[in-house]
Amino acid sequence: MPSLPKAQRRPWQAAPAKRVYEQHAARSPEYSTARWQRAREAQLKRCPCCAECTKQGRTTVATVCDHITPVRLGGAFYDPANHQSLCRPCHQRKSASEGREAARQTGTLPH
């Protein structure tokens, strides 16, 4: 069955705007520092497996160094005691949960 040709952008049309995600806009500039990169690498070397997956009996390679207590709630940014190794899906799940909780506390999301 024939298909329709792909729509092409004409030279006089503006390029579509790239989506900017709010999470990255609110991201602290400290994540770009060499100090944070060293702390992140040290954490992932200390604990190469995802902490949440390990609790559930799975073995998954960690790729994200997460703050146990979010920095915006008073957690220390560089303190190794406030770091845990997580895989990306577990980190996204934890971050979404924290975001929902913060929204409930500020009243921007229904209970």
pLDDT digit string, tens, across residues 37-79: 999 999 999 999 999 999 999 999 999 999 999 988 899 999 9
pLDDT of the residue at 10: 79
Distance (Å, whole) CA 43 – CA 68:
12
In this prediction, residue 3 has a pLDDT band, given cuts at 50, 70 and 90, of confident
pLDDT digit string, tens, across residues 66-77: 999 998 889 999
pLDDT of the residue at 19: 64
Q: Is the pLDDT of residue 7 over 60?
A: yes
Distance (Å, whole) CA 88 – CA 110:
27
pLDDT of the residue at 69: 93
In this prediction, residue 91 has a pLDDT band, given cuts at 50, 70 and 90, of very high
- The secondary structure of the chain as a DSSP string is ---PPPP---TTSPPPPPP--HHHHT--GGGGSHHHHHHHHHHHHH--B-HHHHHTT---B--EEEESS-GGGT--SS-GGGEEEE-HHHHHHHHHHHHHHHHHHHTSS--
Q: Is the pLDDT of residue 110 over 70?
A: no
Domain ranges for the chain, please list them.
34-106
